[in-house]
Structure formats: structure tokens, C-alpha cells
Amino acid sequence: MSSNIFDFATLTGSIHTWLSGMMSSGWVIFTEMVLVGLVFLLMYALVGLFLVYLERKVCAIMQNRVGPNRVGKWGLLQTIADLIKLLMKELIPIRKSDPLLFNLAPFIVIICSFLAMAALPYAKGLQAIDFNIGVFYVMAVSSLSVVGILLAGWSSNSKYSLIGAMRSGAQIVSYELSVGLSLLAIVVFSGSMQLSTIIESQANGWWIFKGHIPAFISFIIFLVASTAEINRGPFDLAEAESELTAGFHTEYSGIKFAFFFLAEYMNMFIVAALGATVFLGGWMPFHIGNWEGFNQIMDYIPSVVWFFGKTFFLILIIMWFKWTFPRLRIDQLLTLEWKYLLPISLFNIVLIAFIVLMGWHF
């Protein structure tokens, strides 16, 4: 099955053999690491810039506006112009701030989102590292960014920043639970934490369809909780601009601000990619059971397209949330998590365990 999906492993394998012919094995690994690093760096920048553009355009259309349309065709180069502007802006040192932590914080945030990208499968055979605890790794790494946010808020010597950082801490720590539990639902279904295994297990249908209603509920919970975890509206309390001006990054300027900004968008990409991988089959085409003919046709669409299509679909939903809803208050945010999402997902996981135990899922 899925035989005619192009496997990127053949491409990467041939590069590996070509490199092995030229140098010793130690150098081969080094060169490959540098290559992969470069590719990720490029992708990070491109996807990040495109997401910023997409967000602006999507919200403009939703709000009956035109959106960026000055730089380049349809304003496509607008974010690049913004990046150049941010690069050239002055880095303002803050009096009585903690310079080491102040400068370190944006790097922590951006490194965390960078690390998570390594474990995501972008297409068949296109995955930097296939951990056997892939789901756990991505979650652990992406939640580390709260350290950067807390440091940023603490070290800027600004009261608004500090409030924003404290909110963010409370928020991420609590919503981490729901994200974990909702992902755990699919881990229980597929019996593995390895992302490649989870995808393979969806070859006869995605988990959101195969897993009955509990899988759907955990998908919804995942969407809500991960929106909260990446500090996006309606859960953008950490940077609530009408309350805290800009929250934890009030005092940052220039490229350090750009790091926070880019990391926020990349985190959105990462959670969307994770959600697409776990619930919607990642790069796996839309398959229905054993309708061989139908599945064959679906296989003609390249797996990269499937992956990015699903990811951007989820990103659009997250954007849709942000541009529709008012912001929650901090106590309501925690109420939502501890009184609604967590009990429901706990109950849900028990239900799923029971379903799996009885073998009722497809």
C-alpha cells in the first residue's frame, strides 16, 4: 500500500552515498548536519515570513480590508521589507535591566521553536530525526519557550513586562496538561510515541475519523489548548496590547523583537504541524479503509503537499480564532483549563483507553 508515494528517503539516501564516496564517515555526518541545519534555517525564515504575510492578509480579508499591497505584487515582499527594517533598528539598552538575561531571552525562545522543527515529518522520508518519543520531544521542547518569556519579562525591568511574563507562565504551565492529554489520546490509539509510526498507523484513515467522537473531542481540545500555549488570541494575555501595551516584549526592539515575533509564528506552525501529523495523518494522503482505487488517486498528490496543506488549514483555523474572539481574562483562562478542558480530556482519555481495550476502533 502507498507504494507510489514518492519516498524522500531515496533522495536523502543517494546524497548520503554520494558524500560517503568522497570523505570519511565522520566528515559525512558533519557535512550532513551542516546541510540539514542550513535547510532548516532557510525553511524557518521562509515559513516564518510567509506566515506573517498570511496572517496579515487573512485578517485583512476577514475585516473587509485590503491588507498589505504596497511592496511587491499583492504586498508579497512586505514582510521582507519589515525584516530589513527590524534588522536596521536600534537595539535599545534598558536601564537597570539584567543585560545577560535580557539578551539571552529571545535566543531561548527562538531556539526552542527551532529544536521542535527537527522532529517533524515533512514528507515521506523527510524527517531530520525520528525519535521513538517524538511526540514527547516536540511537546517538551516547545514548552521550554516559557523560560525565555519569563526571563524576558523579568529582566526588562518593566512592570508591564513582568505582569505579561507571569501571566504567560501560569498559562503555559496549565495548558501544557491539556495539550499533553489530547495528544496522549492518539498515542493510546496508535500505541506509539514515534511520529513515523503514528503516521503509518493512519494509512487506512486519519485518527480524527477512525477514533470515533473521543478523537474529535481531543482534536478540539488540542486546538484550543495549543492556541493558548503559543500565546495567540484569544489567549494572548501575555502580550495583551490593550492592557499591557506589548506584554513581555514591551522593552525589546530591533532584531531581538523580531526573534520573539518570528518565534511566535513558528510556534504556531509547529503546533499546527504536530496537530496535522497526529490527528490528520501528517503527510499521509486521504485514505478510506480499503478503497484501493480511491487511495491510489489520492497518492498521486505529493506527500509534501498533503503535509503543508493540512498544516496551513490548521493555521487558518487558529487565525480565525484570533480574529474573531475577544481576549479572556486571566482567571477565566485558568477556569477554562482547570474546570473544562482538563476534566474533559481526562475523561476522554479513560474513554479512549476503554475503546482501545475493547478493540472498537478501526
- Chain residues binding another protein by CB under 8 A are 58-59, 61-66, 69, 159-160, 163, 167, 233-234, 236-237, 240-245, 320-321, 323-332, 340
Pick 330 or 356: Cβ nearer another protein: 330
Residue 162 Cβ vs another protein, minimum distance, rounded to whole Å:
9
DSSP assignment, residue 252? -
CA-to-CA separations, 267 to 44, 63, 177, 321, 347, in angstroms, rounded: 11, 24, 17, 16, 28
Residue 297 Cβ vs another protein, minimum distance, rounded to whole Å:
27
Whether 219 and 211 have beta carbons less than 8 Å apart is answered as no
Residue 335 Cβ vs another protein, minimum distance, rounded to whole Å:
9
Cell numbers that stand for 234 in this block: 484569544
Pick 65 or 130: Cβ nearer another protein: 65
Q: Which residue has the cell 487506512?
A: 204
**From the centroid of its chain, how far is CA 349?**
23
Pick 2 or 69: Cβ nearer another protein: 69
Whether 165 and 98 have beta carbons less than 8 Å apart is answered as no
Pick 114 or 252: Cβ nearer another protein: 252
DSSP labels, 113-145: HHHHHTT---BTTB-S---TTHHHHHHHHHHTH
Pick 85 or 329: Cβ nearer another protein: 329
Pick 325 or 362: Cβ nearer another protein: 325
Residue 97 Cβ vs another protein, minimum distance, rounded to whole Å:
17
Residue 211 Cβ vs another protein, minimum distance, rounded to whole Å:
20
Residue whose C-alpha is closest to residue 287's, from 303, 276, 298: 298
Residues contacting 305, CB < 8 A, separation 6+: none
Residues 207, 210, 214, 216: is their CA dihedral positive or negative?
A: positive
Residue 206 Cβ vs another protein, minimum distance, rounded to whole Å:
22
